[in-house]
Chain A
């Protein structure tokens, strides 16, 4: 089930919220757990049983590790279990195809090994489980004794499908005891509505524009201009899509009294790639830093090892995003820029002031080509087009004004994030108290929800004039 689906908005969310508010305190966690399991089973009716079994195993392994004299062995076992899950379902296809390619084998398309369906949210489940096990091993906290709370941490539906990656420590006290109040409800819903609007009004509109670009390219209107439009559109799309999803997740969690960490902090205003990664998918950055980079030695190693660590972290980060060489190359691309910045570029960027932001944006833009295209060959073709400087007028397409306006709104929103005075106004808008301000925010939320809900329910309804002839 997706947050931006009709069933979720019409039935699941209102029912869960109302039941949650009506339920006695002791029933609230079990209710959320049942809702979360149902939420997962909706999309993965069979795989949910495997995930429940793995969660039970994880629970037992962590407790055994906590009591063991040799916890490291148990930790390795625990990590192997969770990574195996990830490898089996996410990477077997990729590994088989890559090995076959390297050895020159031709494998049949219907090979069961290359047709394993990727269960929803498996990458996020595995990372949540790993942070929990590692933190217990590190002694950050004692393992959760209550199995229902352990399950709730791993299955909590707001973060289940696409994060953010929430460490156990971050919400441990809220799993035990949290406030049920109107402020959490209204603020959570406000955040959820903003995320929903980003997703269904902006991001989905941009997908339509990308589709139009692809159709025009297939029809022979390929040029640097067209490739640039597609690249910029995808850059906005991925931001509004993912940050919208994160807003929805954070908002949903808040409705139920949880405070999730922020996942985005104006990433396209970053003035270096290093800063970009401190602002983009921050919960993944936190995971990579604390559960991979620092265990590898972090900054306290020799220069050569440091660069290798950075490269490895971004190689794995790319691979985590998807089982394809495109994602790996995207990770490596960012890793290499980080290394270059460490070597010399950062000093130059520091002197460039606001223009460093433009440079960083261009680097990020080019990186998204690897992320967006389905194959390496397609990415090479797009880069060739982009850098051929073959600027041609864009063809006229249906709904041109709509697409221009959409791109303009997205660009405007990013510029708003960049300009400090406007940021201040935004902050004030979100935090000012007083009946008038609260009513204004409420009206805005109501309008965004109404329009977004209409978009979700209306779907792709697009009648044809001759339906009745």
Chain B
């Protein structure tokens, strides 16, 4: 018994000293965390007497530890496994599906803007289309809460047709504005899709879903504008492989054992054999377009200078550099554009156009 006490005692000593030994012996490296922002210590001096030095050392003993990412993951895994709790702002998991903006009381029906406002917005968009002489294409991205509604708690399910989605779609079609309802299309093909359109662990559509949606859009544009634009050339990896952004919510949740849908495949966009003219739209969209902006789809389909107005507050073009939206630059962009694409998730239809429709001078 005494020997066992000695053995446990030695293990205890090594155990409590392990973080310190790992830190100073640089014994291991741990994969970094998603979404980590270093604590701001710039306002702290190095004085012992006012306690600033102690605060710096406290920070060093937590955030700067080599095993800090492992600790965060262990804590997160414990809480997820036992309580279903995810430690990332606004991220929730139900039935193994990760969602954003949902529980506790989100329901799309509560966001309804009213038919009058929706019609007025659509009429204004029509007027913009006529003034700029550019066709407007509205792409409605697949919505996770509707797509996987069977996995949602009852309170979050939509049982009403009085929603921005249905009213906007109807009003846009009535006004003669092109609508590509990718949500309805993907939902119809839900069972047929071998590769998920929306990953259980991601907030946005998968790169695969974005690619086939853009392929469909290009086909429509070719037909409408009578221009043979460059189309999508993609290859799917035969084995399970994950594109990082497809499982962004799981990544952000920083779990030890990241749940990953085995049906996921990565898609590649090889250089097309036959080079055709690439399209140059003005894109106004939400983060669903981000999936495209940083991928091979953008490079393959669009001219590098294609501007992306993110939520109509930031303008990206040709890479990650960004600038604030300016009306004179927008008008210059429109002069060189083939069309206007408004890409939106159903949940974002309460702010359809993200301010573009209201702010554009007619």
Question: Is B4 in the interface zone, CB < 8 Å from A?
Answer: yes
Chain B residue nearest to A2 (CB atoms) is: B58
Among candidates B13, B19, B48, B90, residue contacting A45 with C-beta atoms closer than 8 Å: B48
Q: Check A185/B12 contact, CB under 8 A, given A14-B17, A457-B62, A461-B33.
A: yes
* A99 close to chain B: CB less than 8 A: no
Residues of A within 8 A of B78 (CB): 451, 454
* Inter-subunit contact A396/B104 (CB<8 Å): yes
A438 touches B58 (CB 8 A): no
B103-123 contact mask (Cβ, 8 Å, vs A): 1 or 0? 111000000000000000000
Q: Is residue A183 within 8 Å, beta carbon to beta carbon, of the partner chain?
A: yes
> Could you tell me if A405 and B61 are in contact, using CB atoms closer than 8 angstroms?
no
Task: State whether B17 touches A463 (Cβ < 8 A).
Answer: no
User: How far is it, in angstroms, between the C-alpha of A446 and the C-alpha of B16 when the chains are bound?
Assistant: 10
Would you list which residues of chain A between 32 and 51 have a CB under 8 Å from chain B? Answer: 42-43, 45-46
- Using CB atoms, name the residue of chain B closest to A187: B5
B271 within 8 A of A: no
Residues in B whose Cβ lies below 8 Å from that of A446:
15
The yes or no answer to B247 lying at the interface (CB within 8 A) is no
Alpha-carbon gap, A464 to B100, bound state (A): 11
Count A/B pairs, Cβ under 8 Å: 163
CA distance A464 to B5 in the complex (A): 46
User: Would A433 and B35 count as touching, CB distance under 8 A?
Assistant: no
A397 and chain B: residue at smallest CB distance: B104
Give chain B residues whose Cβ lies under 8 Å from the Cβ of A405.
Answer: 82-83
Specify which chain A residues have a CB less than 8 angstroms from the CB of B54 in the assembled complex: 1, 7, 42-43, 45
| Contact A11 B61, beta carbon cutoff 8 Å | yes
How far, in whole Å, are A281 and B170 apart by their CA atoms in the complex?
Answer: 69
Instruction: Give the complex CA separation of A400 and B92 in angstroms.
Output: 11
Q: Which residue of A lies closest to B311 (CB)?
A: A469
Determine if A454 and B23 form an interchain contact, defined as CB atoms under 8 angstroms apart.
no
Question: When chains A and B are docked, how far (Å) is the Cα of A320 from the Cα of B168?
Answer: 65
Q: Given A5-B58, A402-B79, does the pair A449, B84 have CB atoms closer than 8 Å?
A: no
- How far, in Å, is A373 (CB) from chain B's closest CB? 26
Q: Which residue of A lies closest to B51 (CB)?
A: A45
Interface size bracket, B side: 35 or more
Verify B51–A464 contact, CB threshold 8 A: no
Binding stretch for chain A, among B65-73, B124-132, B229-237, B323-331: B65-73
Task: Count residues on chain A whose CB falls below 8 Å from chain B CBs.
Answer: 58
Q: Please, how many angstroms separate the alpha-carbon atoms of A406 and B79 in the complex?
A: 11
List of A residues within 8 angstroms of B23 by Cβ: 10
Of the candidates A11, A46, A462, the one whose C-beta lies within 8 Å of that of B88 is A462
Complex Cα–Cα for A450 and B78 (A): 11
Known A-B contacts A396-B155, A399-B85; the reply to A17 vs B58 at CB < 8 A is no
**B61→A10 contact, CB < 8 A:** yes
**Do the beta carbons of A17 and B83 come within 8 Å of each other?**
no
Partner of A17, one of B16, B48, B49, B105: B16
Chain B residues near A398 (CB, 8 Å)? Answer: 92, 103-104
What 1/0 flags go to A419-434 for Cβ under 8 Å of B?
Answer: 0000000000000010
Task: Tell me the minimal C-beta distance from A164 to chain B in angstroms.
Answer: 23
Q: In whole angstroms, how far apart are the Cα atoms of A1 and B12 in the complex?
A: 22
- The reply to whether A13 and B16 form a contact with Cβ atoms under 8 Å apart is yes
Tell me which residues from 151 to 203 in chain A have a Cβ below 8 Å from any Cβ of chain B: 181-183, 185-186, 189
- Of the listed stretches B218-226, B248-256, B298-306, B332-340, chain A binds B248-256
Residues of A within 8 A of B19 (CB): 9-10, 453, 457
Question: Any chain B CB within 8 A of the CB of A465?
Answer: yes
Give the residues in chain B near A13, CB-CB below 8 Å: 16
Does B75 have its Cβ within 8 Å of any Cβ on chain A?
Answer: yes
In the complex the two chains form, is A402's CB within 8 Å of B51's CB? no
Q: Does B36 contact A (CB under 8 A)?
A: yes
Q: From A450, which residue of chain B is reached at the shortest CB distance?
A: B74
With both beta carbons as reference points, the residue of chain A lying nearest to B67 in the complex is identified as A457
Complex contact B71–A454 (CB within 8 A): yes
Knowing A10-B19, A45-B49 touch, does A459 contact B62 (C-beta < 8 A)?
Answer: yes
CA distance A348 to B337 in the complex (A): 88
Does B1 make an interface contact (CB < 8 A)? yes
Instruction: Name the contact of B8 in the complex, choosing from A46, A186, A465 (C-beta under 8 A).
Output: A186
- In angstroms, Cα B72 to Cα A322, docked, is 35
Q: Is the CB of B6 within 8 A of A457?
A: no
Shortest beta-carbon distance from B90 to chain A in Å: 6
Cβ–Cβ contact B72 & A467, under 8 A: no
Q: How far is the CB of B103 from chain A (nearest CB, A)?
A: 7
- Residues of the A chain whose Cβ atoms lie less than 8 Å from the Cβ of B103: 396, 398, 400
CA distance A189 to B48 in the complex (A): 30
* Chain B residues closer than 8 Å to A186, beta-carbon distance: 5, 8-9, 12
A468 near B: Cβ within 8 Å? yes
A457 vs B58: C-alpha distance in the bound complex, in angstroms? 10
Report which of A9, A433, A465 forms a contact with B203, defined as CB distance below 8 A: A465
Question: Given contacts A10-B61, A185-B12, A454-B72, is CB(A461)–CB(B5) below 8 Å?
Answer: no
Cβ-defined contact, B49 with A451, below 8 A? no
Given A14-B17, A463-B36: A6 and B72 interface contact (C-beta under 8 Å)? no
Beta-carbon nearest neighbor of B35 in chain A? A463
A300-332 near B? 1/0 per residue, CB < 8 Å: 000000000000000000000000000000000
The chain A residue with its CB closest to the CB of B55 is A7
Identify the closest chain B residue to A447 (Cβ). Answer: B78
Bound-state CA distance A464–B1 (Å) is 51
Please report the C-alpha to C-alpha distance between residue A14 and residue B57 in the assembled complex, in whole angstroms.
16
Q: CA–CA, A398 to B100, complex, Å? A: 12
Q: How far is the CB of B248 from chain A (nearest CB, A)?
A: 7
Instruction: Give bound CA distance, A458 to B310, whole Å.
Output: 33
Q: Could you say which residues of chain A place their CB within 8 Å of the CB of B195? A: none
C-alpha gap A196/B290 in the complex (Å): 44
Given A458-B75, A469-B290, is A10 in contact with B65 using a C-beta cutoff of 8 Å?
yes
* Partner of A402 from B85, B104, B249 at Cβ < 8 Å: B85
With the chains together, A190 CA to B157 CA distance in Å? 48
Minimum CB–CB distance from B198 to chain A (whole Å) comes to 15
- Whole-angstrom CA separation of A5 from B54 in the bound complex: 12
In the assembled complex, how far is the CB of residue B44 from the closest CB belonging to chain A, in whole angstroms? Answer: 14
* B 150-193 binary contact with A (CB < 8 Å = 1; else 0): 00000100000000000000000000000000000000000000
Q: Is the CB of A185 within 8 A of B57?
A: no
Interface string of B33-62 (1 = CB under 8 A from A): 111110000000000111100100110011
Interface centre among A43, A405, A442, A457 (most CB of B within 10 A): A457
The contact sample of 8 A-B pairs, CB cut-off 8 A, is A182-B5, A398-B92, A399-B83, A402-B85, A449-B15, A463-B252, A465-B91, A466-B287
Q: Which residues of A contact B (CB under 8 A)?
A: 1, 5-7, 9-11, 13-15, 17-18, 21, 42-43, 45-46, 181-183, 185-186, 189, 395-402, 405-406, 433, 435, 438-439, 442, 446, 449-451, 453-459, 461-469
Taking A395-B104, A463-B36, A464-B90 as known contacts, 4 extra A-B pairs with beta carbons closer than 8 A to each other, sorted by chain A number, are A402-B83, A449-B16, A455-B75, A465-B248
Pairs of residues from A and B, 3 with the lowest C-beta to C-beta distance, nearest first: A463-B35, A396-B104, A182-B9
